[in-house]
Amino acid sequence: MEHVVLIGPMASGKSSIGKHLAEILGREYIDTDALIVAEHGPITQIFDQMGESTFRQLEESAVAEAIGETRPAVISLGGGAVISPRNRELLEDQTVILLMTDLETVLARANLDKRPLLRDDPEAWNRILEERMPLYEAAADVTFDTGKLPREVLARRIADWLRR
Ligand code: S3P
């Protein structure tokens, strides 16, 4: 059985929905950003000290490690993981769920300080999404809008879709 992988733009709820979903499905939850932080320290620090391209290399390793897990898990990826052709190839054999939201919701609820690409320019969220949207859509089996409903409700809806 495949992993369930959550993709989508920054602050679309991938981590919190992923945790709920893993609990509902009785699976392990793996967050590739958390794997990177555990091994290399805060993401802002990695961007500041080593640059984005080093972060992307660390991210490729974390994605490969997560997808390589033998037991089916729920895995959430960082928003930019789909930029990497290698990561996209790994997604081909998984059940991929795109979580979408909008700038207004992100500005209202997200912690932007932890996100180096938004820290100084939150409105960049829209531009970055526009660039990545074709990649998200090509990788995803289904899309859920996470803007309005509580995270638990969304996780249940996704679980229902998986059991379809
Ligand atoms: C990034 C998204 C972040 C994190 C890093 C870069 C991106 O994860 O991986 O700050 O390029 O979209 P979230 O999607 O969890 O914010």
Q: What mean pLDDT, rounded, does the chain reach?
A: 96
Element (H, E) at 88: helix 85-91
Write the DSSP string, 32-78. HHHHHHHHH--HHHHHHHH-HHHHHHHHHHHHHHHHH-SS-EEEE--
Q: Is 58 in the pocket of ligand 1 (CB under 6 A)?
A: no
- The per-residue pLDDT for 112 is 87
**Rounded Cα–Cα distance for residues 87 and 21 (Å):** 22
CATH number corresponding to 4-163: 3.40.50.300
C-alpha of residue 77 to centroid of ligand 1, in Å? 8
Segment 95-118, tens digit of pLDDT? 999 999 999 999 988 888 899 999
pTM score > 0.85 for this model? Answer: yes
Q: Is 43 in the pocket of ligand 1 (CB under 6 A)?
A: yes
Do strands 95-100 and 28-31 pair parallel, antiparallel, or not at all (unpaired)? unpaired
Question: Helix count (H) and strand count (E) of the chain?
Answer: 8, 5
**Rounded Cα–Cα distance for residues 98 and 139 (Å):** 8
